[in-house]
Amino acid sequence: MSIYDHFRTEEQPFIDQVLEWRKTVIDQYRMKATDFLDPREQFILRSLIGTSDELQLDFWQGYEGAERTRALMYPVYYEPNDSDFAVKCLELEYPVKFVTLKHSDILGALMSLGVKRKKFGDILMGDGICHLVVAEEIADYVRLNLTSIGKSTVKIKELQPEHLIRPTDQWSNEQSTVSSLRLDVILSEAFRLSRSKVTPFITNKKVKLNWKTVEQPSSLLQEGDQISVRGLGRAKLITVDGQSKKGKWKITYGTKKSK
């Protein structure tokens, strides 16, 4: 069985990239910091690297609940430190008395600068505060060029990870059994809705699987998959724990309901 058989066809380019990273670390005896990876990519990376006698794998954990983060692969004899992850934390200052900025505003402003999504991590929003986690190689560019968002002026300063806003919305994790790993079945279980009520969300393009719109209720899920449903919230399939004697799938999943 090929290694690709364990993953989706569209994930093959990322798998090839991971294997190339692994080869570079082993052959050249040097560390490799990845771009920011979403949770599904982190799962694939862990699955492919696993436990190895030739290299180690760590993820930047600047704060609890980090979703998008950088990974570091390095030779077994090397002892990494935080600077090896090449992550910078930035705070956006803006006139909060007159302007309200949303997550989508910040994301749009960064993308309009030509910054690739994989070069920055989570956007953390608080009460009149916005923090960014970015790759060190683009931090100066963002500081110099992100001077306004919409009609609001913006000033940026660097801060230490311990001062980052902590996410307030927590995942609620549960264990259950389901008849199959179909998208509509998992969503029905996660959001306590009938499949007939879940299906229109999918067919009306309101569901994203691993950040890409999916329209097939029969799409099969795998461990590490992340799902967002407009108007309902988010769900993730954490683990698939085998099948019961009656043929049902034992799963652990998480949900975040929309506010």
**Which residue intervals of the chain bear CATH 3.10.290.10?**
172-257
**Which residue intervals of the chain bear CATH 3.30.1370.160?**
3-80
The answer as to CATH 3.10.290.10 being correct for domain 172-257 is yes
Please give the CATH topology (third level) of the domain spanning 3-80.
Answer: Ribosomal Protein S8; Chain: A, domain 1 (3.30.1370)
pTM of the model: 0.86
What CATH architecture applies to the domain 87-163?
2-Layer Sandwich (3.30)
pLDDT in tens, the chain (259 residues): 788 888 999 999 999 999 999 999 999 999 999 999 999 999 999 999 976 788 999 999 888 888 899 999 999 999 999 999 999 999 999 988 888 888 899 999 999 999 999 999 999 988 888 999 999 999 999 999 999 998 889 999 999 999 998 876 678 999 999 999 999 999 999 999 999 999 999 999 999 999 899 999 999 999 989 999 999 999 999 999 999 999 999 999 999 876 6
| Helix, strand or coil, per DSSP, at residue 52 | coil
